[in-house]
Amino acid sequence: MTIDNINLHSYPGSEKTYMHGEIHPDVKVGMRRVILTPTVKVAPDGTKTVRENEPVYVYDTSGVYTDPDVTTDINRGLPRIREQWNARRDDLEQLPEITSEYGRQREADRSLDAIRFANRHRPLRAKQGCRITQMDLARRGIITPEMEYVAIRENMNCAALGIKSYITPETVREEVAAGRAVIPANPNHPEAEPMIIGRKFAVKLNTNIGNSALSSGIEEEVSKAVWSCYWGGDTLMDLSTGANIHETREWIIRNCPVPVGTVPVYQALEKVDGSVERLSWEIYRDTLIEQAEQGVDYFTIHAGALRAHADMINERLTGIVSRGGSIMTRWAVIHNEENFLYTHFDEICEILAQYDVAVSLGDGLRPGSIHDANDRSQFLELDVLGELTEKAWVHGVQVLIEGPGHVPMQKIQENMDRQLDKCHEAPFYTLGPLTTDIAPGYDHITSAIGAAQIAWAGTAMICYVTPKEHLALPNLDDVRQGVITYKIAAHAADLAKGYPGAQVRDDAMSLARYDFRWKDQFNLSLDPEKARRYYVESHRDDDHFCTMCGPNFCAMRISQSTAEECAK
Amino acid sequence: MTIDNINLHSYPGSEKTYMHGEIHPDVKVGMRRVILTPTVKVAPDGTKTVRENEPVYVYDTSGVYTDPDVTTDINRGLPRIREQWNARRDDLEQLPEITSEYGRQREADRSLDAIRFANRHRPLRAKQGCRITQMDLARRGIITPEMEYVAIRENMNCAALGIKSYITPETVREEVAAGRAVIPANPNHPEAEPMIIGRKFAVKLNTNIGNSALSSGIEEEVSKAVWSCYWGGDTLMDLSTGANIHETREWIIRNCPVPVGTVPVYQALEKVDGSVERLSWEIYRDTLIEQAEQGVDYFTIHAGALRAHADMINERLTGIVSRGGSIMTRWAVIHNEENFLYTHFDEICEILAQYDVAVSLGDGLRPGSIHDANDRSQFLELDVLGELTEKAWVHGVQVLIEGPGHVPMQKIQENMDRQLDKCHEAPFYTLGPLTTDIAPGYDHITSAIGAAQIAWAGTAMICYVTPKEHLALPNLDDVRQGVITYKIAAHAADLAKGYPGAQVRDDAMSLARYDFRWKDQFNLSLDPEKARRYYVESHRDDDHFCTMCGPNFCAMRISQSTAEECAK
């Protein structure tokens, strides 16, 4: 597998470093340390002063791909860092074989050997009678390794703030116990580095990849997965709908250092050749188990799109634009029955609880246009999601609530307010929202405007949108643009929320600008390669000005002379 | 001159159309009409229903470059549409020759013939004792052709709203008279199509072009100017600081269909070879006259950055990042005198009033980093700008107030609130603001997030930022990306403000999506060429689905089946 000629083994000017747990000494949290050059000033009399600049720590989603001491091989998969934690637990059992019927069929099909991920593991599941989810454990007062891991991970740049920490493992435990935060951590995905989604923590971003019937192969999808982590994706949804979904997913999960989510109804529908009519609870149920045992960390489940909502489609300009929502309401209308994800929701939760798969309650009726934003069906579904949240929590299942979509700026706050109210503060996870419909080709931007705003208001995770949204599937460069754009939105929201440690990087960048330390500026930026390339393409030397203003018009240079004068 | 192989003579699927004035019958406002294909539905029994879709009108900044009936030639300049209006006025006089000393020197210099724009005109100026600005006229109750022009221009898609108009010429007059809106309309730039900047009207965007000592020639700058208008720039600032500024500006103005602004101190500083110390009021004054007679419509003047503010630079992380601000405070410190733009502000206004050049009061102390946002010196300068606003209005000079810069989201609203309060509701005109410092290479996006927010709050015009900000000068593609990104921010703000007519285009786009009318989607989008290219690159046919979801997973297709079923 090649990743577009980028060497994933390092970020420029940075070191991979690890911090260890105190409660759990084998917790080892990777982070990126950006090494800065000193500030050098030469006074008019030639006196030189040198001031060291402290390194800046950056939250690192790239896993061991950027650790020069680890050799990765996608044919073997990533190191299984959580395996030892699982092994210590007495509430998990290793099954002798996989449970799902479909999974067994695929296993038995020798024709798939050529595309199969070779290195297989037997699935873990809750022992009979044990409640194993992070939420269950948190409620019992247990600080798991996963909880300590995320606490360390969130405490970025404490040294610069002059404090030991601002997020404690106990805070994490409380938030998870209350349902205000989610740690997606299926024991069957031990390759994933734990992370937390909740509005008390740094804003996270999800990336979507996945083939459709018309494009993309396994290698391309794995490349996109790793690539999205390299640029900063916190979680990854595999939305594949084409051929060999089962095998593609296995490759992705085994090589993915972040939690992986899916929309199981996509595969269930593939199993009935795309016939919505032939979908059934039994096929869906088997799909849940199949995917849970592969290690999917969260499922989007469109259990809130009800039969009655279908009658409201005609009030809308763009009907239902969620794939899952359109499938489930269609099924309900064809069969004249209630959405089976709603009627079987308790059984779904029982399965999810056994594997600690979080449920991401899908907004099947999210608006697909500015016109339809905040309409009756959208908010009626949100009420149902609130009801389902309480049900899931009874089972100890962790819950995320998905949100829109297309919403003009003045209607964004209402989405957040209602979600907090109706869904009992379960973390909100929104797609954008796009703040206008008129810019296909730039919907990463139309939506970043909305994403920054809603994240500031309290949304815990924002789902990226790439420039290809509404037009085509993203390629590697689109994934990169989508991730960086959403890192911007998430970081802007962290700053606005006053999240501790966030502004350390901005301040380091600004000082590097004022000092004309160009390399530090590149290395501190979200996309060092692009920043450097833009600069180098038009620059002639490395002096104290740039091509934008030229030597006589450099405000910072003039300003520094003035400052020196005034400081005398 | 070639503009990157783009045929500027048309937008795809669109017609150039004109609306005529009623008060002034020779007012003829160009706009773009996007022609849509009909919605065709085929029922299961084969019955076909066809519903026509009304055309959508789009505010058009491209001038006659997109009128197939007009042949343009940059060597001759654009048609001088306002010349007949000027000719009817009895308050203007045509001077026998240009007034400024520098202008005459350049005119006399034969070595410049090769780069000189050939088609010269004698300058217009207020007759002795006449008050000629749009503000003066508005105060006297006169609805000028310019005012009627902008009223028509703002009334986009009234037919779709079922009304005759939502902006009347009288509203325009009132807003201009009160100083809440500005029509930059120097009689010496009769090529410009009038436009209005005020928070009661659609949000406008300014583009910056201009060479520096290190790059760019005349042809490239004229290309960028026309290009920025093609994509949607409402005004244009020529920030050139390199060689032949005078001649470059002449070429730009004569070929620019939108108002042109400059920062005169840049050229004044060039005249003293970049020596801040040698700058003087006399040189600056001659520069104002030189540029006003060429037709510059608004000047950025950094008259609010005072000597006392220089002492506050050391409180900041990034000092002064405005070129004009750094120059003027430096001058004040070197000479230990007050900024001469402040002390000579009344004389400046007298000159500006004679040519109806608007003043854009520069924010010389705008923050250059998240760290410095909303600090003491920034807001002290804003207070001074408020004082200068009142002075300018005494002279009938139209006023814009420039704003930041780098501001985190939670500090944006305060900028707007204070500006309205301290500057007496003069239109606010902001650069971004950038909402984080850590994304060089993507600062069009970091700033669009802030621009959308501040425009929603009431900022009348937003100044674009290109992907090259902080790194290099923009090329043609950067200009395009910057303009489209800011069109998004401006339009998102128009929607959020509930500006009449804005959502018509969104709704038309959304319906085209739901109907799978792909060509209409491209033609309605801000960047039709890119939208179409992204689609075509990955698409196999023109059926009722796309590569994103494939045939079985198209939510809109499934939703339509459900809607038809439910409508029975």
Sign of CA dihedral A419, A423, A424, A430: negative
* Closest alpha carbon within chain A to B560: A319
pLDDT > 80? residue B404:
yes
Q: Could you identify the residue written with the tokens 């992986």?
A: A260
Residues of chain A numbered 37-96 and touching chain B (CB < 8 Å): none
Give the separation between CA B372 and CA B205, rounded to whole angstroms.
25
The least confident of A136-140, A490-494, A540-544, B78-82 is A540-544
One-letter amino acid for residue B553 of the chain? F
pLDDT at B122 (0 to 100): 96
Q: Is B452 helix (H, G, I), strand (E, B) or coil?
A: helix
Residue contact B492–A449, C-beta within 8 A: yes
DSSP B434: B
Q: Model confidence at A1, in pLDDT bands (50, 70, 90)?
A: very low
Provide DSSP, A80-147. Answer: -TTHHHHHH-SSEEE-SS---HHHHHHHH-GGGGGGS-S---PPEEEPTT---SHHHHHHTT---HHH
Q: Is A316 annotated as a binding residue?
A: no
DSSP B260: E
Q: Could you identify the residue written with the tokens 């070191």?
A: A15
Residues of chain A numbered 296-335 and touching chain B (CB < 8 Å): 310-311, 313-314, 317-323, 325-327, 329-330, 333-334
- Best of B312, B562, B566 to disrupt the A interface (most A CBs within 10 Å) is B562
CA distance B567 to chain A (A): 7
Q: Which residues, at least 6 apart from A333, have a Cβ–Cβ distance to it below 8 Å? A: A307, A310, B562, B565, B566
pLDDT at B395 (0 to 100): 98
Q: Is A432 annotated as a binding residue?
A: no
pLDDT at B279 (0 to 100): 98
Query: A126 — phi, psi (to 5°)?
Result: -60, 140
Among A334, A370, A471, beta carbon nearest to B531 = A471
Q: Which residues, at least 6 apart from A421, have a Cβ–Cβ distance to it below 8 Å? A: none
Residue contact B371–A507, C-beta within 8 A: yes
Q: Which residues are registered as beta bridge partners of A39?
A: A51
The least confident of A99-113, B4-18, B81-95, B477-491 is B4-18
Q: Which residues are registered as beta bridge partners of A94?
A: A124
pLDDT at B1 (0 to 100): 36
Sign of CA dihedral A61, A64, A67, A73: negative
Domains and CATH numbers, chain A: 174-497 (3.20.20.540), 539-567 (no CATH)
Taking alpha carbons only, the member of B359, B356, B240, B260 closest to residue B300 is B359
Residues of chain B numbered 280-299 and touching chain A (CB < 8 Å): none
Residue contact B558–A371, C-beta within 8 A: no
- Count CA atoms closer than 13 A to A332's CA, side-chain side: 25
Residue contact B566–A333, C-beta within 8 A: yes
What is the rounded (10 degree) CA torsion for A310, A311, A314, A319? -10
Q: Is A18 annotated as a binding residue?
A: no
Taking alpha carbons only, the member of A264, A557, A130 closest to residue B313 is A557
The predicted-structure confidence for A391-407, as pLDDT tens digits, reads as follows: 999 999 999 999 999 99
The least confident of B65-69, B171-175, B418-422 is B65-69
> SS3 for B371-383, per residue?
HHCCCHHHHHHHH
pLDDT at B73 (0 to 100): 87
- Best of A445, A446, A483, A526 to disrupt the B interface (most B CBs within 10 Å) is A445
Provide DSSP, A416-428. Answer: HHHHHHHTTTPPE
Residue contact B437–A510, C-beta within 8 A: yes
Q: Which range, A463-472, B217-226, B530-539, has the best average confidence (pLDDT)?
A: A463-472
Q: Model confidence at A2, in pLDDT bands (50, 70, 90)?
A: very low
| Token output for B250 | 């002449």
Q: Is B406 annotated as a binding residue?
A: yes
Sign of CA dihedral A98, A100, A105, A111: negative
Q: Model confidence at B119, in pLDDT bands (50, 70, 90)?
A: confident
pLDDT > 60? residue B235:
yes
| Token output for A73 | 């091989």
Residue contact B548–A370, C-beta within 8 A: no
The predicted-structure confidence for A157-181, as pLDDT tens digits, reads as follows: 998 999 999 999 999 999 999 999 9
Backbone dihedral region of A216: left (phi > 0), alpha (psi from -120 to 50 degrees) or beta?
Answer: left
pLDDT at A3 (0 to 100): 42
Q: Which chain B residues contact residue A457 at CB under 8 A?
A: none
pLDDT at B221 (0 to 100): 82
| Token output for A130 | 């044990």
State the pTM of this model.
Answer: 0.96
Taking alpha carbons only, the member of B153, B113, B110 closest to residue B21 is B153
Q: Model confidence at B548, in pLDDT bands (50, 70, 90)?
A: low
The predicted-structure confidence for A60-82, as pLDDT tens digits, reads as follows: 999 999 999 998 888 899 999 99
Q: Is A278 helix (H, G, I), strand (E, B) or coil?
A: helix
pLDDT > 60? residue B421:
yes
pLDDT at A302 (0 to 100): 98
The mean pLDDT value for A546-567 works out to: 77
Q: Could you identify the residue written with the tokens 């229903």?
A: B49
Query: A397 — phi, psi (to 5°)?
Result: -80, 130
The mean pLDDT value for B376-403 works out to: 98
Does the beta carbon of A7 lie under 8 angstroms from any beta carbon of chain B?
no
Q: Is B208 annotated as a binding residue?
A: yes
Let me know the angle formed at the C-alpha of B483 by A445 and A488, rounded to the nearest 5 degrees.
30
pLDDT at A564 (0 to 100): 82
Q: Is B546 annotated as a binding residue?
A: yes
Residue contact A549–B521, C-beta within 8 A: no
CA distance A18 to chain B (A): 23
In this structure, the number of other CB atoms found within 10 A of the CB of residue A350 comes to 12
Taking alpha carbons only, the member of A518, A549, A548, A511 closest to residue A533 is A518
Does the beta carbon of B217 lie under 8 angstroms from any beta carbon of chain A?
no
| Token output for B237 | 């600032």
Give the separation between CA A108 and CA A39, rounded to whole angstroms.
63
Residue contact B453–A567, C-beta within 8 A: no
Backbone dihedral region of B178: left (phi > 0), alpha (psi from -120 to 50 degrees) or beta?
Answer: alpha
Report chain B's mean pLDDT, rounded to a whole number.
Answer: 93
Residues of chain A numbered 399-428 and touching chain B (CB < 8 Å): 408-410
Give the separation between CA A152 and CA A42, rounded to whole angstroms.
40
The predicted-structure confidence for B506-542, as pLDDT tens digits, reads as follows: 999 999 999 999 999 999 999 999 999 999 988 765 5
Residues of chain A numbered 526-555 and touching chain B (CB < 8 Å): 526-527, 530-531, 533-535, 537-540, 546-555
Q: Which residues, at least 6 apart from B204, have a Cβ–Cβ distance to it below 8 Å? A: B195, B197, B234, B235, B460, B461, B462, B490
Residues of chain B numbered 233-262 and touching chain A (CB < 8 Å): 241-242
Among B437, B468, B506, beta carbon nearest to A369 = B506
In this structure, the number of other CB atoms found within 10 A of the CB of residue A387 comes to 14
| Token output for A323 | 């794939």
pLDDT > 70? residue B200:
yes
Does the beta carbon of B492 lie under 8 angstroms from any beta carbon of chain A?
yes
DSSP B193: P
Q: Which chain B residues contact residue A408 at CB under 8 A?
A: 492, 495-496
pLDDT at A88 (0 to 100): 96
The mean pLDDT value for B213-235 works out to: 83
The mean pLDDT value for A264-277 works out to: 95
Q: Model confidence at B2, in pLDDT bands (50, 70, 90)?
A: very low
- The residue with greater pLDDT, A485 or A555, is A485
pLDDT > 70? residue B6:
no
pLDDT at B549 (0 to 100): 67
In this structure, the number of other CB atoms found within 10 A of the CB of residue B8 comes to 17
Contact (Cβ atoms closer than 8 angstroms) between residue A205 and residue A463: yes
CA dist B159 to B20, B163, B165, B212, Å? 16, 6, 9, 46
Q: Model confidence at B5, in pLDDT bands (50, 70, 90)?
A: very low
Q: Which residues are registered as beta bridge partners of A434?
A: A406
Let me know the angle formed at the C-alpha of A60 by A145 and B409, rounded to the nearest 5 degrees.
110
Q: Model confidence at B477, in pLDDT bands (50, 70, 90)?
A: very high
Angle between helices B412-422 and B443-457 (to 10 degrees): 50
Give the separation between CA A533 and CA B471, rounded to whole angstroms.
9
pLDDT > 60? residue B543:
no
Residues of chain B numbered 138-197 and touching chain A (CB < 8 Å): none
Q: Model confidence at B216, in pLDDT bands (50, 70, 90)?
A: low
Q: Which chain A residues contact residue B503 at CB under 8 A?
A: 370-371
**ipTM higher than 0.85?**
yes
The mean pLDDT value for A308-326 works out to: 94
One-letter amino acid for residue A82 of the chain? R
CA distance B432 to chain A (A): 12
Report chain A's mean pLDDT, rounded to a whole number.
Answer: 93
pLDDT > 80? residue A353:
yes
Contact (Cβ atoms closer than 8 angstroms) between residue A213 and residue B552: yes
